[in-house]
């Protein structure tokens, strides 16, 4: 009997420890009988599927995961409808919604961060809707382009002022402050960390606060990388916009990229230190891809032996087309599965395809396609 009691105590203790190491996301989706809900991780480089469930009857679901060492982001998805969530402990988050308004008319309990993320999401959707209506007004001749630009600029300023004051600077250590940094309008980042001194301060505030609480967080390291690059772009290091801890200035001349190549292997941009790198963003299905790659092939053949490497990022939606097209290329070919919505492309301020950058042997960004008049001469100068 004593052995049975002791065994029971051990089992209960193990169960208790196990429950303390996990988080739970549960809830209901009305009107979604037969639909599949997906539970996904929103990583730094890509969206990773974690689990799924086919909804029945009342639409109830439940997912769990190992407690993250530092705050992480997840999402619930049905088709193209998405609810963003954040987890930083062993919390239980309850989400209730309807299939028709899955992403906008949901309730969330158990997480103050997730509640704020919902507020930010609805604000962004409202902003996008207003801008879309203004764009239609231009197309129909109701307003001119000048009026459109003035109105959009005013909307953006008021939106950013609101988010800065009430979400980012109010609680820079909160996960919703991090979420706010990466909101988009027309698929471009609302806060520009590479070209706006004021926006760099926002990224710096969150990076510092996140690093204090979670010193080993990959997200804080990534934010510092972004901040340092932005400071260099805007010549802010001489203006002391913010202090960056010396131990965080870690070869941050470029914002690192870590994506899978044709063989499924992770290729990191910063691992190419010691070479002159041509970082190229392209879409293989575009009309300019073939002549562009022909030009790159000539340069690669000529200078690869002298230390040139090409790191080409595909933004193609069709993975099979990319693999087929890139199969015979001699350089590093990776693909961002988020396509033209790539957060990496946004961080590099890619606004047209192709766009390329030159990186010297010390991992420092030296030039981009906008200011390179003679690409071959620019490469030779770095070699």
Token output for 289: 């891809």
> Is-contact 291 282, C-beta < 8 A?
no
Rounded CA separation 277/294 (Å): 17
pTM above 0.75, yes or no: no
Angle, vertex CA 376, rays to CA 375 and CA 378, nearest 5: 65
Q: What number of other Cβ atoms are within 10 A of residue 193's Cβ? A: 28
Tokens of 106: 């949901």
pLDDT tens column, 262-320? 988 989 998 999 999 999 999 998 888 889 999 999 999 999 999 999 999 999 888 88
Span of 162-166, 221-225, 280-284, 319-323 with lowest mean pLDDT = 221-225
- Percent above pLDDT 90 for the chain: 52
Per-residue CA distances from 194 to 44, 200, 204, 339, 349 (Å): 18, 7, 12, 21, 8
| C-alpha torsion angle, residues 243, 247, 248, 254 (rounded to 10) | 110
> Which domains are present in the chain?
2-110 (2.60.40.10), 120-248 (no CATH), 258-382 (3.40.30.10)
Q: Tell me the per-residue pLDDT of 71-117, one tens digit each, with 9 for 90 and over.
A: 999 999 999 999 999 998 888 999 999 999 999 999 999 999 999 99
At residue 238 the predicted structure's pLDDT band, cuts being 50, 70 and 90, is very low
Identify the pLDDT of residue 368. 84
């Amino acid at each position: 009997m004593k052995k049975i009691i002791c065994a029971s105590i051990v089992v209960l203790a193990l169960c208790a420890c196990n429950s303390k190491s996990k988080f739970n996301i549960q809830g209901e989706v009305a009107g979604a009988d037969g639909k599949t809900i997906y539970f996904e991780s929103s990583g730094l480089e890509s969206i990773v599927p974690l689990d799924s469930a086919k909804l029945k009857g009342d639409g109830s679901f439940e997912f769990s995961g190992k407690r993250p060492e530092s705050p992480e982001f997840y999402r619930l998805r049905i088709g193209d409808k998405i609810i963003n969530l954040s987890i930083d402990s062993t919390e239980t988050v309850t989400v209730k919604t309807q299939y028709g308004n899955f992403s906008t008319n949901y309730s969330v309990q158990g997480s103050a961060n997730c509640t704020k993320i919902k507020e930010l999401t609805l604000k962004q959707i409202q902003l996008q809707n207003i801008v879309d209506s203004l764009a239609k007004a231009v197309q129909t001749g109701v307003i001119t382009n000048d009026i459109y630009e003035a109105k959009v600029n005013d909307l953006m300023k008021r939106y950013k002022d609101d988010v800065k004051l009430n979400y980012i600077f109010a609680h820079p250590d909160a996960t919703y402050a991090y979420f706010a940094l990466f909101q988009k309008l027309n698929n471009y980042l609302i806060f520009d960390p590479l070209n706006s001194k004021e926006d760099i301060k926002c990224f710096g505030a969150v990076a510092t606060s996140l690093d204090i609480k979670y010193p080993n967080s990959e997200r804080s390291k990534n934010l510092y990388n972004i901040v340092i690059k932005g400071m260099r772009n805007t010549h802010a290091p001489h203006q002391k916009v913010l202090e960056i801890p010396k131990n965080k200035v870690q070869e941050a001349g470029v914002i690192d990229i870590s994506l899978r190549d044709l063989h499924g292997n992770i290729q990191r941009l910063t691992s190419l230190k010691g070479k002159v790198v041509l970082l190229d963003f392209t879409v293989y299905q575009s009309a300019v891809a073939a002549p562009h790659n022909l030009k790159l092939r000539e340069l690669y053949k000529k200078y690869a032996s002298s230390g040139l490497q090409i790191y080409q990022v595909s933004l193609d939606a069709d993975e099979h087309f990319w693999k087929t097209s890139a199969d015979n290329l001699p350089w590093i070919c990776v693909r961002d599965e988020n396509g033209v919505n790539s957060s990496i492309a946004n961080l590099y301020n890619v606004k047209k395809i192709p766009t390329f950058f030159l990186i010297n042997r010390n991992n420092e960004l030296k030039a981009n396609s906008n200011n390179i008049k003679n690409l071959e001469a620019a490469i030779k100068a770095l070699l």
